[in-house]
Each structure stands twice: as structure tokens, then as C-alpha cells.
Amino acid sequence: MASGGEQTTSEYIRHHLQNLVYGQHSDGSWGFAGSAEEAEQMGFWAIHVDTMFWSISLGMVFLWTFIAGAKRATSGVPGGLQNFCEMAVEFVDDTVRGVFGNRQNDLIAPLSLTIVIWVFLMNLMDLVPVDFVPQAFHAMGVPYWKIVPTTDPNVTLGMSVSVFFLVLFYNFRIKGPIGFGKRMVTHPIPHWSMYPFNFVLETVDMLAKPLSHGLRLFGNLYAAEVIFILIAAMLPFYLQWTLSLPWAIFHILVIPLQSFIFMVLTIVYLAQAHETDEHH
């Protein structure tokens, strides 16, 4: 709704749920989509600029914070930043040890730390009032600007599919192609007549994992964002706090919980990929 004039509630809501898309217009030129219809016409070969900006910026925040904490690390009593970083690392390390056991893998703990902090920061953007940043960008002439990357399924599915590829990689590496194939046909019913059935079941199970993994995070945060927007759109301004404040307080719980769940599922899937037949 680039021009002024009266804005209906549904327009307001739709506007707030629209990403800033860069892609090829139907006339062949490249540029930002000015409306939801234009964005849809761009198809697959388009990019959500706001999502990329916020996810990369928040990733940088995570990296700089922890680099600064690591550089200033002492073996003495930790200061504020080092203390915080140590607590985060310890927490992730404990969780990984609890789920993944003592198997040798140098990737999984750093991966889990990155996931939990990054997703947490991206979720945290949910608490910023829904109008603040989009209004500011609108004033600068940017038509759409979403600030919560995890309400964009591209982000959550991008992460969960990356984890899925890691799961496939470790399945092949730990079990070997034959072991992995054997596992795909012999579970859950280890009888030769059931092998095709098992294979279908295991394949569905395999493919459902990244989907549920990514959509769970997306769904939770998207719903949260929609409700914030609804509150902002439907209630008179002097009553908004009666609903948005409890909802925000509730999200003090939801935001860390969803990032934690995303991390734990990553660890669980990778642990399953590391399981060999002796464990069954």
C-alpha cells in the first residue's frame, strides 16, 4: 500500500505479512516487488531481502558477541560477556552430551550453539512492536519490511533442509551405503516380505523430518506474529496493551523454547544418523 489513503484492517495485516521481494518482473526487468501479486509472479527465482538482511545481521550479532567473549576469555573469574558465553556453551554442551552421548563428532556442538543462539535472536525480533521498523522503512520508501526471519518459511526450511543433508551425509558415512540401505528396508518390520513396505515407511519418515522440523518453528513464530498484528489492527490504541502485553510476556517462554526445540531436534536427528545396528 505504497500510496496514502485509508487502509483497511485486512490490508494492514496483509501488508505486515509481506516480505520485501527482489526478483524478475513479468516484463523481464529486475527489481523489488511493489505488491503481493507482483511478488507472487516472480516465482522461485526471487529473494526476500528483508529476511536475508535480518538473518545475516543477527548471525553477525551472534558471531561478534561470541568472538568478543572468546577473545577476552581468561582462566580467572569470567566477566559479564565471557560469563554469558560460557553459560551458553556449557548449556549447549550439556544438551549435546545428554542426547548425542559421547560419540566422536566435532561438528555437532558448534552447530547446535549456532542454531540455538541464531534462532533465538531471530525469534527475539518478534518482540519488537510490529509497526516500528516497517513504518521507519516505509518512510524511507521501502514498501515492505518484515523483521522476524523465522516467520519466513524460507529461513526455517532452509535450516531444516541443511540439517537433513547433514543427516543423509552422516547416515552414509557412519552406516555406509549398504548399511543405510539395509536400515531403510529392514525397519520397522525385519521380514523380507515387508521390505517394500518398510522402504516406503522409512522414506516418508525421513522426508517428514525436515518438513516438520522447519514448519514447527515457522508455524509458532508466524502465529505469534499474526496475533501481534491482529492486536495492533483490531484494538483501539489505548487498549492494545491489555492483549499484546500478556502475549509478549508469554513469548518470553515461547522464544527460547522454540529455539531450544529446534536445536534439540537437530541433535536428535544427527544422533539417529550416527546409530549403528548394534544399538537396536
Partner 1 sequence: MNINLTMIGQAISFALFVWFCMKFVWPPLTQVMRDRQKQIANGLEKAALAEKQLEAANSSAATELEEAKQQAAELITQARNRANQIVEEAKQQASDEADRIKAGAQAEIDQEINRAREQLRARVGELAIEGAEKILETSVDRGAHQQMLDKLAAQL
* 3-class DSSP assignment, residue 238: coil
Establish if 178 lies at the interface with partner 1 (CB under 8 A): no
Q: For the chain, how many helices (H) and strands (E)?
A: 10, 3
Establish if 83 lies at the interface with partner 1 (CB under 8 A): yes
What DSSP designation does 280 have? Answer: -
132-142: b (≥16 Cβ within 10 Å) or e: ebbeebbeeee
Which of the stretches 49-57, 61-69, 79-87, 197-205 binds partner 1 when contact is defined by CB under 8 A? 79-87
Q: Could you confirm whether 220 is annotated as catalytic?
A: yes
The C-alpha angle with vertex 97 and arms to 255 and 204, in degrees rounded to 5, equals 70
Catalytic residue among 72, 103, 173, 212: 212
In the chain, the amino acid numbered 79 is G
Over the window 117 to 136, marking each residue x when it contacts partner 1 by CB under 8 A and - when it does not, the resulting string is ----------xxxxxx--x-
Q: What whole-number distance in Å separates Cα of residue 95 and Cα of residue 117?
A: 14
Establish if 249 lies at the interface with partner 1 (CB under 8 A): yes
Q: What whole-number distance in Å separates Cα of residue 127 and Cα of residue 133?
A: 12
CA-nearest of 92, 42, 21 to 262 is 92
Establish if 44 lies at the interface with partner 1 (CB under 8 A): no
Q: What whole-number distance in Å separates Cα of residue 128 and Cα of residue 149?
A: 13
Least distance to partner 1 from the beta carbon of 126, Å? 12
Using CB under 8 A, pick the residue from 191, 236, 279, 280 that binds partner 1. Answer: 236
Establish if 235 lies at the interface with partner 1 (CB under 8 A): yes
Least distance to partner 1 from the beta carbon of 165, Å? 36
Using CB under 8 A, pick the residue from 203, 239, 272, 276 that binds partner 1. Answer: 239
Least distance to partner 1 from the beta carbon of 179, Å? 44
Establish if 146 lies at the interface with partner 1 (CB under 8 A): no
Using CB under 8 A, pick the residue from 61, 241, 250, 276 that binds partner 1. Answer: 241
Q: How many residues bind partner 1 (CB under 8 A)?
A: 37
Q: Could you confirm whether 75 is annotated as catalytic?
A: no
* Continuous segment of H or E residues that includes residue 24: strand 21-24
Q: Is 201 exposed, middle or buried (0-12, 13-18, 19+ CB in 10 A)?
A: middle
Establish if 7 lies at the interface with partner 1 (CB under 8 A): yes
CA-nearest of 173, 176, 161 to 208 is 161
**205-234 residues near partner 1, rule: CB under 8 A:** 232-233
Q: Give the number of other CB atoms < 10 A from CB of residue 148.
A: 25
Establish if 141 lies at the interface with partner 1 (CB under 8 A): no
Establish if 140 lies at the interface with partner 1 (CB under 8 A): no
Q: Could you confirm whether 216 is annotated as catalytic?
A: yes
Give yes or no for a contact between 163 and 231, defined as CB atoms under 8 angstroms apart.
no
Catalytic residue among 123, 160, 220, 244: 220
Which of the stretches 50-58, 64-72, 216-224, 239-247 binds partner 1 when contact is defined by CB under 8 A? 239-247
Give residue 40's Cα distance to chain centre: 22
Chain residues binding partner 1 by CB under 8 A are 1-2, 4-7, 15, 76-78, 80, 83-84, 86-87, 127-132, 135, 138, 232-233, 235-241, 244-245, 248-249, 252
